[in-house]
Amino acid sequence: MVTTDTDMAKASRAPSRRRRWAVPSGVLGSSIAVRLVAVVLATGVLGLGLIGGLTALRLQQQLGQQAAALGKLSEDQLARRLDGEAQLARARIEVLGAETASRLRQIAQRADIAKAVASHNDVTIRELLSIVASTSGFERLIAFDETGRVIGANKPLDLLALNGAIEETDLSVNLRAILKDNSRSHPRGEEGTYQLKLGELSALGLPQRQTIAHTAIEPVFDDFGDLIGMLVAVRPLGRTERTLENFTSLANAGVVIIASDNEIVSSAGPEGVKFRNARTLLGGLHRSDDGNYVARCVEYEATLKVCTFASASLVTTTRDQMFQIGAAHTRSLMWQFLASAALALGALVVALLAAVSHFTKGLSALAKTAQEIAGGNLDVPFRATGIGEVRGLGLAFERMLTHLRASTRKIRQLAFYDTVSRIPNREKMRVDAPALIEAEEGGALFFLDLDGFKSINDTFGHKAGDELLRMVAERLSNLLASKVAVKKSLLARVGGDEFVAIIAGVKTIEAASLFAREMIEALQVSFKLQSNHATIGVSIGIAICPTHGTTYDDLLIRADLAMYVAKSSGRNTHAFFTPDLAEVARARHALETDLALAIRNEKLVVHYQPKVSCVDGRIMGVEALARWHHPKEGDIPPQRFIKIAEEIGLIMEIDRFVLRRALAEIGGLIRAGSNLVLAVNVAATEIEDPLFVKDIVTIVREADFPPPHLEIEVTESVAMRNPDVVRERISLLRQLGIRFAMDDFGAGYSNLSTMARLPFDAVKLDRTLVAGVAGDREKQTILRLALGLADELGFETVVEGIETPEDLRFAAENGATMAQGYIFSPPVSLEEFTVLLQPSFLASTVEVAPRRHGAERQAAIR
C-alpha cells in the first residue's frame, strides 16, 4: 500500500482552509518600503546619537572615573561574596540533574519497562510510564525504539509531531550517539540541561514558560542484552525550586537562574526581582531592573546563568550621584546634535523611498506564496519575478519549493509505512482503524505473533529475518486481497514479529475462526531464504467489534491478551478474547502490587534446604530460598512470584533481601562453630550489573560473614548467555574466597568448552536428570556422563530433586558429592533447620549407598 499524490495534495491543502486573512500584494510592497526607510532612519538617528553620546561621555570622563573609584572597593568585596554563593547555588542545581539521571537509570533496568519498550505499544508504554513518571518526579518520560524513534510517553502526545520536534536538536544528537555505541555490560547514558524551543514545548505538551529542563537518557536492554530502545526523562526547572529556597535561607542571599534573553527561569528569595535589562557595574556586579539589588552570575549549561543577589544598599550611592550629573550634560549635548541632523535625515528618507520601490518589485508575490506554504498548501503556484537579487531569491525559492514537496511525500511515507515489510506501521493503523470500524459498524481484529521467528533471526541473521518479515506481509496481504467476501481490511506490522489485521464485516466467531485458520495455513508453508528453507508458526488472538470492544485501542489490548492464550495453548493456533482474560490481567496486576509492597516492607521470609554429603551423610551446606505468604491468598508458589519479580524488575531486590537475611541467620550458626556453606541464587540482571561485585563485597563485609562459607549459584542459562562477563565477575569474587556453583546444569544447552573455562567450584545437576534415575536407563547414562565430566573438570557435584532412596543410592555410587531434595527435608524455617543439624536427626531418613571410589565408603545416612 502506498500514499498517492492526490492524498498528499488533500492533506497539504487541508490546513490552508483555517487561514482567515491574506495581505494584498501592493500593501506588502509598500510595507516593506516603509520598514526599510524606518530602519535607515533609525540607523541614522542612532548613529548621530552615538556621536553625541561619545562627546558627552568625553566631557564627564573624569567625573565617572572618580565615581567608579569610590564604589570599587565595596563592589569588589560584595562581588567576591556573591561569586562564592553563586557557585554553591549552581552545585545544587547540578545535583538535581544528577538525581534525574540516577532515577532514570534505575527505571531503565526494570524488566517491565524493557518489556513495554520492546512491545512498541504506546498504550502499554503510556500506562506504565505514567505511573513511573509520577513517582519519580518527571514531567515527561519518553520511550524510544532502537532506531531513535519515539514510541510512547507518559502522556498522550502526538508522537509524530514529537519525532519532528526532536529531530536535529542536541537531544537527537545525543540519542544517536548512545544508539551507536552501547552494551548491557557497559551501559552508557547521558544527562544535561537543555533550553526547549516553542516547537519542542508544544510537542511535549509543556507550558511555554517551562523552557529549561534537566534531561537524562538511559538505554533499555532486553533479557538477551540487546539494545531495544531508550528512555528520556524531562524535568523542567520550576519557577521556584525547594533546593534554592533552602539555599536562600542559609546564605541570606537571593538566587535567580537566567536564560540567554535575561528571562528568569527559576528564583528564590525576594519576589519581583528581575534582571531582564540588567546593567553591569564596575566591580562586575549586575544591577536589577528596579535598581534595588545587585548580583553576580556564573555560567551554567544551555546558555544559562546562575546569579545570587543582595540589596544594592550594600554598595555606596556616591557613584550613582556622580553619574546623574554627567547624564544631564550628555542630554543637553544630544539635543544639539539631533537638531542639526533633522534636515539631512529628511532628504535621505525621500531618496530612499524611491529606491526601495524600484528594487523590491516581486517581493510581495514571494511573501504571499510563503504564507500559503506556512498554512500547509504546498501546491500553491509560484513563478519568480522582479529584478536583480529579488529575482535570484525567487528562483531559489522555486527550487526550494520543489524539494520541499518531494521531501514531504517521503516523510509521510516513512511516518506511516514500515520500511522492512513495506506495509502500514502501527501509527498508520492507529489513524485508519477507527474510521474503518465505525464505517463498517464492526469487524474483527486479529493480533498475530510469529512463532519461531527469533530462532530464524539468530540462525540466519537479521537480513534473513527482514526478508522473512517481508514474505509474511506479502502472504497475508495476498490472502486478504483474494477474499471476495472481504469488503475492506487493514494490515500493519506493529512490532518486531507482530502483525495486526482488521477485517470489516466479520462479526461472528465462526467467520473469524475461518480467517484465522487460513492465516495459519498460509504461514505454515515453508519460506525460502536464499539457499535455506525456514518454517514458522503463528499464534493469533482475536477480538470482535462490538462484542469485545468498540474502539481500536480496546480491541488491540484484548486481542493481545487472547494471543498470549493461544501461544500458551501450544502455539500455531488462535484464541478469542473472553472477559475472564481481563480479570486475569487485573489479578496479575494486583499480585504485582502486593509483591512490590511485600518486598519493600520485608514481608518475605527465607527458608533453608540442606545439602547432604553422599560420603558420610553430614549436612555440608544449605541453600537459602525466598518464600511469600500472601495475607489473602496464603502461600504463593515460588515459581509464580519469582517469575513475576523477574518480569517487573524486582528480582534483584528479592535476591539482595535473601542474601542479607541468610548471611545474618546462618552467620550466627557459623560463628557458633558450624562448618556450613551457604548457597544463594543470583539473577541474570544482577550478575550483569556493573556494581554486582561491589554490592556483594559490601553486603558480606557488613554482615561480618566469612567469604569461604558463601556460595553463589548462577544458572546454566545465565552463565552461557554472557560467559565473558560471568567469568570476569566470578574471578574477582573468588579472589576473596567466595565460591560459585552452576545451577540447573542439564536444563539448557551448554557449550562444554565455554563451561570448562568458567571458574566454577561446583555443578548442580538439574532435577530433570535425577528424578526417577534408578529406573530409567537413559537417565542413568546421562547422569553418569554428567558426573564423570564434572569430575574430570574438577567440579564438586550436587544432585537436586532426590526423593527416593534408590535415586540417592545411584547418584552416590556414581560419584555425586552432595545431594539435595525432599528425601532429606523440604525448605524449612531457620528454627526447623537448626533441628536438622542435630547429629542423629537425619540418621533415620535414608541409607546412602557406598560410592564407587574413595577410601571412606560407608552407609551412614538413612
pLDDT tens for residues 79-128?
777 888 888 888 888 788 888 888 888 898 888 898 989 898 988 889 88
Residue 24 has pLDDT above 70, yes or no: no
Tell whether the torsion through CA atoms of 617, 623, 628 and 633 is positive or negative: negative
Q: Give the pLDDT of residue 856.
A: 33
Residue, of 718 and 740, whose pLDDT is higher: 740
pLDDT in tens, 785-809: 999 988 988 899 999 999 999 999 9
Q: Give the pLDDT of residue 514.
A: 94
In a 3-state reduction of DSSP, which class is residue 448? strand
Average pLDDT over residues 717-724: 75
Q: Which residues pair with 306 in a beta bridge?
A: 257, 298
Q: Give the pLDDT of residue 719.
A: 76
Under 8 Å between Cβ of 94 and 218: no
Q: Which residues contact 829 (CB under 8 A, 6 or more apart)?
A: 605, 607, 608
Query: Which amino acid type is present at position 256?
Result: V
Q: Give the pLDDT of residue 191.
A: 85
Hey, what's the cell of 418?
514500515
Q: How far apart are CA 509 and CA 567, in angstroms?
A: 19
The H or E element containing residue 98 is: helix 61-108
Q: How far apart are CA 636 and CA 628, in angstroms?
A: 6
Report phi then psi at 188, rounded to 5: -135, 125
Residue, of 244 and 480, whose pLDDT is higher: 480
Q: Give the pLDDT of residue 360.
A: 67
Confidence of residue 10 (pLDDT cuts 50, 70, 90): very low
Terminal Cα-to-Cα distance of the chain (whole angstroms): 73
| pTM reported for the whole predicted model | 0.47
Average pLDDT over residues 308-337: 66
Backbone region of residue 775 per phi and psi (left: phi > 0; alpha: psi in -120 to 50; beta: other values): alpha
Hey, what's the cell of 297?
552570575
Report phi then psi at 352, rounded to 5: -70, -40
Confidence of residue 21 (pLDDT cuts 50, 70, 90): very low
Residue, of 250 and 22, whose pLDDT is higher: 250
Residue 209 has pLDDT above 50, yes or no: yes
Helix axes 692-703, 723-734, angle to 10 degrees: 30
Residue, of 488 and 454, whose pLDDT is higher: 488
Q: How far apart are CA 129 and CA 765, in angstroms?
A: 41
pLDDT in tens, 177-192: 888 878 888 888 888 8
Q: Is the preceding omega at residue 723 within 30 degrees of 0, hence cis?
A: no
Residue, of 126 and 354, whose pLDDT is higher: 126
Confidence of residue 23 (pLDDT cuts 50, 70, 90): very low
pLDDT in tens, 727-745: 999 999 999 999 999 888 8
In a 3-state reduction of DSSP, which class is residue 621? strand
Q: Tell me the range of 169-183, 333-347, 349-363, 647-661 where mean pLDDT is highest.
A: 647-661
High-pLDDT (> 90) share of the chain, %: 35
Confidence of residue 13 (pLDDT cuts 50, 70, 90): very low
Residue 56 has pLDDT above 80, yes or no: no
Report phi then psi at 647, rounded to 5: -75, -30
Average pLDDT over residues 386-391: 71
Q: How far apart are CA 540 and CA 559, in angstroms?
A: 8
Q: Which residues contact 181 (CB under 8 A, 6 or more apart)?
A: 188
Residue 813 has pLDDT above 90, yes or no: yes
By C-alpha distance, which of 770, 747, 778 is closest to 822?
A: 770
Q: What is the DSSP letter of 615?
A: T
Among 346-350, 473-477, 552-556, 701-705, name the one with the lowest average pLDDT.
346-350
By C-alpha distance, which of 361, 516, 385 is closest to 448?
A: 516
Q: Give the pLDDT of residue 280.
A: 62
Residue, of 470 and 237, whose pLDDT is higher: 470
Q: How far apart are CA 233 and CA 136, in angstroms?
A: 10
Instruction: Give the C-alpha distances (Å, rounded to integers) separating 561 from 494, 575, 578, 649, 749.
Output: 15, 9, 9, 21, 31
- The mean predicted confidence, pLDDT, of the chain is 81
Q: Give the pLDDT of residue 279.
A: 59
Q: How far apart are CA 146 and CA 229, in angstroms?
A: 4
By C-alpha distance, which of 420, 440, 417, 437 is closest to 428?
A: 417
Residue, of 237 and 332, whose pLDDT is higher: 237
Residue 275 has pLDDT above 80, yes or no: no
- State CA 473 to chain mean position distance: 29
By C-alpha distance, which of 794, 810, 795 is closest to 846?
A: 810
Among 225-234, 712-721, 799-808, name the one with the lowest average pLDDT.
712-721
Q: Give the pLDDT of residue 449.
A: 94
Residue 746 has pLDDT above 70, yes or no: yes
Residue 289 has pLDDT above 90, yes or no: no
Residue 263 has pLDDT above 60, yes or no: yes
Among 319-323, 353-357, 371-375, 492-496, name the one with the lowest average pLDDT.
319-323
Under 8 Å between Cβ of 541 and 565: yes
Residue 626 has pLDDT above 80, yes or no: yes
Q: Give the pLDDT of residue 90.
A: 83
Residue 466 has pLDDT above 90, yes or no: yes
Q: Tell me the range of 247-251, 299-303, 712-716, 777-781 where mean pLDDT is highest.
A: 777-781
Q: Give the pLDDT of residue 203.
A: 81
Q: Which residues pair with 330 in a beta bridge?
A: none
Pairing of strands 293-299, 305-311: antiparallel
In a 3-state reduction of DSSP, which class is residue 372? helix
Among 52-66, 157-171, 663-677, name the one with the lowest average pLDDT.
52-66
Any idea of the CA torsion for 14, 17, 22, 25, to the nearest 10 degrees?
50
Q: Give the pLDDT of residue 73.
A: 59
Q: Which residues contact 548 (CB under 8 A, 6 or more apart)?
A: 554, 555, 558, 576, 577
